[in-house]
């Protein structure tokens, strides 16, 4: 069924999960506004998606408040409104905590925390005024269930904080008709992981494999359509967060 009057903003839309989300939302009939740091990569994404006027790329640093203002302003100018925000942009590094440099700490705070907060502020303003809308955060299963074999404290701290913020913002925006949820993936088959690592990474999940991008997209699309689900962190992790 076509939803051509609906518009989604997806941060970090030029590769991996973000690119898969753009493809899935376009297929579902949405107009898609995708963000990325590089104008060139956004242009390449537009050419790959081949969606014409239904895709708009907006370049900028997701951790800067002006970027959030710009993407919403351009989305509303082009399509009239924003129905869904997917805070997908993120970076991940697994190494011992004491090895993180100050620059790496600041980079992760900028992308993984500020890159969710500033777009969400713009979404909250716009959607509360319209009395409808959906904010969906892409977090991490590892933030629900840390693993001693995968030292990634910054991701656990920041994505774990976003999991809790998802619940808090859901309560704050509920009176305004806006839902807030999160999808917490396990390891996903993206260019981040070389093919030769898939078997070892898959063994982290009770189901014995890593996720496809489509399986993450399916969960996000469900939350984009679910009007009576809010404050939920949905693990899509092959049972990783269930325990050992």
Question: Residue 112: which CATH number?
Answer: 3.40.50.720
Average pLDDT score over residue span 195-210: 72
CB 56 within 8 A of CB 76: no
The better pLDDT of the pair 152, 4 is held by 152
Residue 16: pLDDT over 60: yes
Cα–Cα nearest to 155, from 87, 241, 90, 244: 90
- Number of CB atoms found within 10 A of residue 28's CB: 18
**106 in a structural domain:** yes
Kindly state the tokens that stand for 80: 């009239």
**242 in a structural domain:** no
Average pLDDT score over residue span 75-92: 96
User: Per the structure, how many domains does the chain have?
Assistant: 1
pTM for the whole structure: 0.93
Cα–Cα distance, 244 to 241 (Å, whole number) = 8
| CA 128 to each of CA 134, 147, 170: distance values in angstroms, whole numbers, following the listed order | 10, 38, 12
Does an H or E element contain 134, and which? strand 133-138
Residue 1: pLDDT over 60: no
CB 109 within 8 A of CB 90: no
What is the residue range of 154's domain? 7-235
**37 in a structural domain:** yes
């Amino acid at each position: 069924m076509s939803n051509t009057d609906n518009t989604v903003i997806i941060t970090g839309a030029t590769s991996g999960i973000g690119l898969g989300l753009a493809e899935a939302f376009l297929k579902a009939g949405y107009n898609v506004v995708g963000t990325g740091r590089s104008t060139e990569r956004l242009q390449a994404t537009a050419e790959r998606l081949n969606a014409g006027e239904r895709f708009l790329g907006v370049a900028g640093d997701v951790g800067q408040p002006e970027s959030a203002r710009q993407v919403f302003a351009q989305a509303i100018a082009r399509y009239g409104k924003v129905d869904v925000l997917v805070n997908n942009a993120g970076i991940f590094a697994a190494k011992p905590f004491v090895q993180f440099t100050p620059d790496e700490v600041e980079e992760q705070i900028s992308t993984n925390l500020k890159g969710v907060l500033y777009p969400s502020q713009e979404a909250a303003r716009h959607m509360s005024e319209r009395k409808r809308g959906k904010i969906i955060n892409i977090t991490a299963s590892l933030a629900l269930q840390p693993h001693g074999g995968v030292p990634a404290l910054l991701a656990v701290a920041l994505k774990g904080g976003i999991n809790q913020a998802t619940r808090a913002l859901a309560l704050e925006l509920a009176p305004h008709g806006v839902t807030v949820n999160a999808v917490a993936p396990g390891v996903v088959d993206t260019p981040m992981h070389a093919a030769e690592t898939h078997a070892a990474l898959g063994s982290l999940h009770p189901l014995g494999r890593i996720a496809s991008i489509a399986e993450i997209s399916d969960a996000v699309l469900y939350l984009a359509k679910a009007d009576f689900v809010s404050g939920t962190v949905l693990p899509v992790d092959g049972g990783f967060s269930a325990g050992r």
